[in-house]
Chains A and B, each alone.
Chain A
Amino acid sequence: MSKQYWKDYQSAVAEDNYYYERSCIRQSFFTGSEEIFLKIVKDVLKKDIVDDMNLHTCSGIGYYSGVVPLDTTMTVVARLFALMTEAGYKNFVPSCITSFGLVNEMVDMWHHFPDKLEEIKGYLKEATGKEFEMPENIVHPCDIIYKNRKALKEKMKYSLTNVKTGKPLQVVEHIGCHYAKIFPRQVKGGAEFPQVLVGMIQEWGGEVVDYPERRHCCGFGFSQYLVLANRGYSAANSKKKFESMQPFKPDFILTNCPGCNMFMDRWQYTISETEGITYDDHKRGIPVLTYEELTGLLLGYNPWDLGLQVHQVQVEPLLDKIGIEYDPKDKYVGKTGKQLKEPEKPMNLKV
């Protein structure tokens, strides 16, 4: 096989000393993902990463939905960079794909329009008294995991192998649009053949499912969902993907974007409630994991500490396939040790 050009598309990933920018929505949807990422970087990879309590929104969802104006967005991003500068870091690590796309887009605009950068610096100084240095490296956390996938594998307790059959698990991967589609050359594998999740899946023993609608939208698409009247279109797009992947019998879906994860998980519930359709043989649906949750699971962290119980499609069948030990009784035990109330059961989707 001769050269594949997408293999030239690579992201620059700093070795160490990361400034972590938490995500608004990820902390609500996948409650353990960011926490486990910080633990993996600090405790497993032994690298320096700061979790700054002063952080605020990047305003990305507002910007991409056409609600927050450009100058405001740029000033908000400038303030995030100012916080990074004050903390003494140069490698900016936005947890959310929307943030990742947004900060890259702003930096690119400043590169092409330096006068705009000076104007924004003025706004920031006037409003907050802060100044900032441009990051040396803007890197998404999934790239850090990808870069260290071999080192992590050595410390993993489990692999992506079905312990009952001995066969590799079949995994659907889906990357966020704002990870690869704004600046495809700066991400691993570009937009058409993104390798970041593929690399993790293959390194850790799984097989990637190449299905017809692999590149189709996850269903989020900002205005598809954010405008109430469009939500049927959002669900219809996710449905198209589920129908396309179903014949391949995927064991789970892996994502790196909050939008993809949220909608591919929650719309399975919506579709099951409205149409009675589920996408696996046992009416359990296809579990959807973030890459941090997957890494944490294989490293042997407690699934309930990863927040997997707050997913819509429940993960126990997947845990059993991988052979992960867990105590079902711990599922709804809160951080303080108190038993929490169990959520209401869906009508059609088995949990």
Chain B
Amino acid sequence: MKKTDVIIIGGGPAGIEAAYDLARNDIQVILFEKEEEIFGHMNMAATLFPNFQDASEIRNILLQKTKHDNIQLFKKTGIAKVYKEDKNWHVKTEKGEEYAAKAILLASGFKTFDAKYKEELGYGIYKGVITSVEFEEMYKTGKILTPYGKAPLRIAFLNCVGSRDEKVGNHYCSRVCCINAVKLSIEAKKLLPDVEAYCFYMDIRMSGQFYEELYRKSQEDYNVNYIRGRISEVSPTIDNRLQIKCEDTLSQTPLKMSVDLLVLMIGIEASEGTSMITKQVGINGEYSFAKSLSLHSADNRTNNEGFFLAGTCKRPLTIPETMADARAAALEISYFLKSESE
């Protein structure tokens, strides 16, 4: 069994940021990532809202941080079990290896909503219906095309797919989709200035710094149209487009239009890892996210001494929020280790 000061589960922005802050405080860290690549969902991003910073710049910064001497990074290492024994936390990997540490930081992140649950939106059935993640991947290639290889004439973005939706059991807001739709619609217009872009929404929630400004810019400079209404139905047309229906709830009229691409802004859910580990250690909260000791005063701690939380394993967060939360978690863990050694 290998021993260390802190084990971090999850090599996304939260895990890496916390690992680095611990490492530069002379704390030995083992960082586990289940995938072949680190960075988690940040791998999919081409640019970051609201300033369109190239996501690869942030990935490079994070990559450099993982190279700190006090960090041991294990990729392709899924976690099977987490438990506490003799005041130490133990982690058993899926490969059967065992590790022990004085503290654990859970940074196991989120998964995106499976849009196939919203059957009426036709994801997985009609080729032109794609997710926001798939749209971003297409944007990264420098070309946005219909499934039939043509430049789209009209693109619709639909917010709240799997968020604020009683039918799929997710009552909460995923927080990042509104601004992400603004970003994606501008990206579409940058590549295809003549494309018509429509964003369908329930409420536009622009709570972050510069979000409102970007929302305004998308309308004034890029001519993105915003329609308040949820798309209720998607069907194919004879010319390989998609017919969408919704009620424009501001004008109180039914609306029907044909589009070439429908981009579903899929929401955030607790990842399988988050759900599994939080159940194992008894901190499984609402919607299977991890439950912190106190939202206001101890948000990185849990009711299990030595078990800490960072990032989107707790709830939907933006990347800056996630990284700030990770730094706070690292500080909490430093205090904890110090108090243990005294």
A residues with a Cβ closer than 8 A to B are 1-6, 190, 192-193, 210-215, 247-248
From B42-50, B114-122, B149-157, B319-327, the one touching the partner chain is B114-122
Task: Judge whether B236 and A210 touch: CB under 8 Å.
Answer: yes
Q: Which label, helix, strand, loop or mixed, suits the secondary structure of the A interface?
A: loop
List the A side residues contacting B238 at CB < 8 Å. Answer: 211, 247-248
Can you list the 5 inter-chain pairs with the closest CB atoms, starting with the nearest? A192-B119, A212-B243, A212-B235, A247-B238, A192-B120
Task: Judge whether B119 and A6 touch: CB under 8 Å.
Answer: yes
Q: Does B124 contact A (CB under 8 A)?
A: yes
Q: CA of A5 to CA of B124 in the docked complex: distance in angstroms?
A: 10
Instruction: Tally B residues with Cβ within 8 Å of A.
Output: 12
Q: CA of A19 to CA of B1 in the docked complex: distance in angstroms?
A: 67
Q: CA of A193 to CA of B125 in the docked complex: distance in angstroms?
A: 10
Task: Judge whether B235 and A2 touch: CB under 8 Å.
Answer: no
A308 → B minimal CB distance (Å): 29
Nearest CB to that of A189 among chain B residues? B119
Q: CA of A257 to CA of B110 in the docked complex: distance in angstroms?
A: 44
Nearest CB to that of B123 among chain A residues? A4
A316 → B minimal CB distance (Å): 27
Task: Judge whether A4 and B116 touch: CB under 8 Å.
Answer: yes
Nearest CB to that of A1 among chain B residues? B124
Nearest CB to that of A193 among chain B residues? B119
List the B side residues contacting A210 at CB < 8 Å. Answer: 235-236
B residues with a Cβ closer than 8 A to A are 116-117, 119-120, 124-125, 233, 235-238, 243
Task: Judge whether B233 and A5 touch: CB under 8 Å.
Answer: no
Tally inter-chain residue pairs, CB-CB below 8 A. 31
Task: Judge whether B119 and A190 touch: CB under 8 Å.
Answer: yes
Nearest CB to that of A215 among chain B residues? B233
Given contacts A192-B119, A212-B243, contact A2 B125 (CB under 8 A): no
Task: Judge whether A5 and B117 touch: CB under 8 Å.
Answer: yes
Task: Judge whether A214 and B235 touch: CB under 8 Å.
Answer: yes
Nearest CB to that of B242 among chain A residues? A212
Task: Judge whether B124 and A4 touch: CB under 8 Å.
Answer: yes
Nearest CB to that of A3 among chain B residues? B116
B127 → A minimal CB distance (Å): 11
Known: A4-B116, A212-B243, A247-B238. 4 other contacts (CB 8 A): A1-B124, A6-B119, A192-B120, A210-B236
Q: Would you mind naming 25 contact pairs between A and B with Cβ atoms under 8 Å apart? A: A1-B124, A2-B116, A2-B124, A3-B116, A4-B116, A4-B124, A4-B125, A5-B116, A5-B117, A5-B119, A6-B119, A190-B119, A192-B119, A192-B120, A193-B119, A210-B235, A210-B236, A211-B235, A211-B238, A212-B236, A212-B237, A212-B243, A214-B235, A215-B233, A247-B238
Q: Which label, helix, strand, loop or mixed, suits the secondary structure of the B interface?
A: mixed
Given contacts A1-B124, A4-B124, contact A213 B235 (CB under 8 A): yes
Q: CA of A2 to CA of B114 in the docked complex: distance in angstroms?
A: 11
List the B side residues contacting A2 at CB < 8 Å. Answer: 116, 124
B189 → A minimal CB distance (Å): 27
List the A side residues contacting B116 at CB < 8 Å. Answer: 2-5
Q: CA of A43 to CA of B116 in the docked complex: distance in angstroms?
A: 42
B128 → A minimal CB distance (Å): 13
Q: CA of A166 to CA of B108 in the docked complex: distance in angstroms?
A: 57
- Of the candidates A2, A3, A5, A190, the one having the most CB atoms from chain B within 10 angstroms of its own CB is A5
Nearest CB to that of B256 among chain A residues? A212
- Of the candidates A4, A190, A192, A213, the one having the most CB atoms from chain B within 10 angstroms of its own CB is A192
Task: Judge whether A215 and B235 touch: CB under 8 Å.
Answer: yes
Q: CA of A185 to CA of B300 in the docked complex: distance in angstroms?
A: 41
B236 → A minimal CB distance (Å): 5
Q: CA of A193 to CA of B124 in the docked complex: distance in angstroms?
A: 12
List the B side residues contacting A212 at CB < 8 Å. Answer: 235-237, 243
Q: CA of A6 to CA of B243 in the docked complex: distance in angstroms?
A: 21
Q: CA of A192 to CA of B121 in the docked complex: distance in angstroms?
A: 10
- Of the candidates A212, A247, A248, the one having the most CB atoms from chain B within 10 angstroms of its own CB is A212
List the A side residues contacting B124 at CB < 8 Å. Answer: 1-2, 4
Q: CA of A193 to CA of B157 in the docked complex: distance in angstroms?
A: 23
Q: CA of A247 to CA of B237 in the docked complex: distance in angstroms?
A: 10
Q: CA of A4 to CA of B235 in the docked complex: distance in angstroms?
A: 17
A213 → B minimal CB distance (Å): 7
Nearest CB to that of A210 among chain B residues? B236
Q: CA of A247 to CA of B238 in the docked complex: distance in angstroms?
A: 7
Nearest CB to that of B232 among chain A residues? A215
List the B side residues contacting A3 at CB < 8 Å. Answer: 116
B96 → A minimal CB distance (Å): 29
B195 → A minimal CB distance (Å): 22
Q: CA of A190 to CA of B236 in the docked complex: distance in angstroms?
A: 19
Q: CA of A214 to CA of B122 in the docked complex: distance in angstroms?
A: 13
B246 → A minimal CB distance (Å): 14
Nearest CB to that of B235 among chain A residues? A212
Nearest CB to that of B122 among chain A residues? A192
A335 → B minimal CB distance (Å): 43
A253 → B minimal CB distance (Å): 16
List the A side residues contacting B120 at CB < 8 Å. Answer: 192
A174 → B minimal CB distance (Å): 13
